[in-house]
Structure formats: C-alpha cells, structure tokens
Amino acid sequence: MTGDMPILLPVLPELILAIGAMLLLMLGVFQGDKSYSQMANLSVVLLIVTAFVMFTQVGGDRQLTFGGMFVTDAFAVFAKTLVFVGSGIAILMSSAYLKQMNIAKFEYPILILLATLGMMIMISANNLMSLYVGLELQSLSLYVLAAMNRDRSRSTEAGLKYFVLGALSSGMLLYGVSLVYGFAGTTDFDILASTLKAAHEPQIGIIVGMVFLMAGLAFKVSAVPFHMWTPDVYEGSPTPVTAFFAAAPKVAALALFVRVMMTGFPAMTAEWQQVIVFISIASMLIGALVAIVQTNIKRLMAYSSIGHIGYALVGLAAGTQAGVEALLIYIAIYVTMTLGTFAAILTMRRSEGMVEDIADLSGLSQTNLPLAIAIAVFMFSLAGIPLLAGFWGKWYVFLAAVEAGLIPLAIVGVLTSVIGAFYYLRIIKVMFFDEPAPAFESGHGRAVSGVIAITAIVNSPVSYFVLIGPLVAAASWAAGSLLF
C-alpha cells in the first residue's frame, strides 16, 4: 500500500475487463440487438487485450494488493489463461446457434465478460470476503445465461433451478465463513494459516466452518453430493451456454478450491483431506454409473463432468505440490476435451431444429466422417484411452495420489474410468456401426468447425507428445508459486 491508495498494477487486468465490459454495455444499449456480432467480436478482443496485459505487465510474481485481499501469482496466471480460453471460445462458437434460435442478444457476450471478471477475482482471492464477491459476480451472470432462451420453458427452468440451489449453496458458504471468522478472528488466508499453525489443535468451530465452506465450493464445481443442479441446467440451457458452464467456471471454482485449502488451511490438511477424498470418490462413482443410462448427450456430458471433477479432486486430495500440479494439468486438458465435444454437439441440427439424443448420431461416419472421427477422438480422450490427452491427465492425478499414500483413491479412480469408458465407447459404436440417421444440416459456422478441428488435434496422440512437456512445465511453475 502507498498511503491510502492500493497498488493497482496486480489488479490491472481486472480493471481493464470491468471498464471494457461497462463500455460495451453502454454501446450495446444505444445500438440494440442488431449489434450482437459487433459486441461478440469486441468482447473477444477485450479478452485478448486483458490476457496480454496480464502476461506483460503483471507476470507470475507473487503480488498482494487491497490490504492482502487480492493476490496474483503464477497459479493465478495459469488458471486465468484457461478461463480466457474457455470464455473466448464460448463467445466465438455461440454466434450461429444464437442467431438460428433468435436469441442473439447483445447482453450475451457482456454477461460472459462479467462472469469472467468474477472468475478472475475468485482465482486471485486471498480473503474470504473477496472470495465471496468474486463467486457472486460469476454466479449472478451464470443464472441469467442459463435462462437466456426465455421462450423455452426448459431454459427458464434451468435458470430458476440454478438460482435457487445457488442461493442455498451461497448461504452454506457464508455460514462457514462466519464460523471461521468467529473462531479464528480473521478472514485473510495468510493470517488464518499462521493462526491455525500456531494452535496445538484446531477448534471444533473452525472445522465445522471449513466443512460448510467446502460444501459451498463443492456446489460450484458440481461435486457429489452437491451435483443435483448439473444435469438439469446442462440440458435446459442453450448449448453454447452449457459449453461455457462446462469449461471456464469449472476452472475458476477448482482454482479457488485449491487456493482456499492449500493457502488458508494448510495446518488442517488431515481434516479437509478426508472430505476431499469422500467427494472425489462419490463424484467419480456417480458420474460413471448414472451416465450409463442417459440417452440425452447433454445430460450424459453433465454426469461426465461430475466424474471428471472427481478425478481432478484426486490431485487436491493428495495435498502436495505434485497433486496441485496434476490437478492443473488435468483441468487444462479437460477444457479442450469438453469444448471440442460441445462444439460437436452444436453441429447436431436438422430441419426440425437442434437434436440432442445419442441415437441421432447413428451412422454419422457414413454421413460426415470427419465429424465422426473428431467426436471419437474426444470420447477416447474423455475415457482416458492411452496416448490421448485425457490419459495423461488421469496418469498425473493418479500418480500424485499414489505418491501421497492414497492408493485406494487411485484404485477407485482407475475402476470408475473403466466403467466410464463404456458410455463413451457406446457413442463411438453408435456413430460407426449403427444404421445411418438423416444427415445433419450445415450452417453451424466456421468458428464451430475451427474449434472442433483444433481441439481434436490437441487431444490426438500425435500433437500431445509435443504439448505435454510445456504443459507440465507451466503447471509445475504455477503449483510452485502457490506453495510459497
């Protein structure tokens, strides 16, 4: 701090994004919905500018501002980069769909920008208060996005369910925050960590508060048993919104989860590790078993995402630098897999409108072989088939768990991966061996085709031998900065 004025350099990217979003909102109000394409393009440019400023002006050194409530470090830079990628691609691949559905409102890209701003604050939160501010800014934007298609009852139902259950989770999180503050006397992560370290054993009130705090965070990452909103919201929301939900907010919430546990409660690792192991196992099991009976591909992807959150949490359960590094590698790979899959789902359109049943992919290899091959790559990668990107993600989290002595957790992860492979391989069987259904219409946009092509290449065995080294190095750099 310099006098009463906080140092603004660490928060410069957030300021640029906030001011830019406000200016675009004013521009959109004056120009109306006809300005959607312009707003979308300017929003992507704003995200690129924000990312450029973050890399060139802020960097990966640990810096604190606003009285220690906001921190930026290599961990934040890594996670924010993934958020920028998820948000930017979500905006780019939404245009054709929103125009076809007559819901191309100028507010759409601006809501994504504001949600992204909330995610950036979440990732850099170093205090329970700034954590909550970022979480709510993100959540309020997501509630509106879920209900974007107001003329479709499933979309408004999705928004309402998300809002009601989100409010419940926020209440649990705030109750946990109040208990932690009441017993520890601080909301600052650094002071909290030193206070708990000095104590011989944690007070029961802090343990209960931490569990409520973890419950609120588990809701945001849709981990079992706080996953109940995910299938309905994924199915009911417009498909590009679902793609956004499955990528950027998951990264931000997981990054926040890691920062809270590793920097706020490092002295209570034995206590929170038990909870993380439980929700990780439960998420992997529910995600694998319930997805088997799904016929709607968006609901299947919802349960798939629940399972993948379970795998990512294996890294956090390890409670080590190697575990955090593995989690970061996993979510980076997961973002590419899930964005590619939802881009493919956006191509599932016939004359009667969008179709979402797995049966609609029947014989796709005979009507659109390149798309069928791309989807097969995504399914193999999600299943963790060796040499594809998804395999390396699981390899690193299970390795971290074994090194931390959590061998039963790793075994459960491997077994649920085998179960999960069934429903991913079923989609491949439907595409390549079933009688062909009517071909999908074209007109989904070049951006969607580009996302499918790039993410399929990234997940393929050939390119991943090139990318795995830099990704591991970046994750190691980020994890090392967190555990300063």
Three-state secondary structure of 216-275: HHHHHCCCCCCCCCHHHHHHHCCHHHHHHHHHHHHHHHHHHHHHHHHHHCHHHHHHHHHH
pLDDT tens per residue, range 95-125: 888 888 888 888 889 999 999 999 999 999 9
Map residue 70 onto helix, strand or coil. strand
Alpha helices in 54-188 (DSSP H): 74-92, 95-100, 107-123, 128-146, 153-184
User: In angstroms, what is the C-alpha Rg of the chain?
Assistant: 21
**How far is the C-alpha of 450 from the C-alpha of 246, rounded, in Å?**
19
Query: What is the DSSP secondary-structure string of 270-339?
Result: HHHHHHHHHHHHHHHHHHHHHHTT--BHHHHHHHHHHHHHHHHHHHHHHTSHHHHHHHHHHHHHHHHHHH
Confidence of residue 1 (pLDDT cuts 50, 70, 90): very low
CB 297 within 8 A of CB 239: no
pLDDT band at 434 (very low <50, low <70, confident <90, very high): confident
Task: Give the confidence band of 252 by pLDDT, cuts at 50, 70, 90.
Answer: very high
Give the H/E segment covering residue 63: strand 63-65
Distance CA 169, CA 439 (A): 43
Q: Are 221 and 311 in contact (CB under 8 A)?
A: no
DSSP-derived secondary structure letter, 357:
B
Contact present, 361 and 430 (Cβ < 8 Å)? yes
Q: Is the whole-model pTM more than 0.85?
A: yes
Count of other CB atoms within 10 angstroms of residue 271: 15
- Mean pLDDT of all residues belonging to the chain: 88
User: Is a pLDDT exceeding 90 seen at residue 84?
Assistant: yes
Kindly state the average pLDDT of the residues 206-219. Answer: 90
> For 15-71, what is each residue's pLDDT tens digit?
999 999 999 999 988 887 778 888 889 999 999 999 999 998 888 788 888 888 899
Closest by CA position to 450, among listed 305, 301, 346: 346
484 pLDDT above the threshold of 60 = no
Question: Cα(376)–Cα(385) distance, rounded to whole angstroms?
Answer: 11
pLDDT value, residue 285: 92
Task: Residue count of the chain, please give it.
Answer: 484
For range 229-250, the mean pLDDT = 88
CB 206 within 8 A of CB 183: yes
Q: Is the pLDDT of residue 443 over 80?
A: no
Backbone conformation region of residue 71, classed left if phi is above 0, alpha if psi is from -120 to 50, else beta? beta
CA distance 361 to 367: 10
Segments making up each domain of the chain, as ranges: 9-482
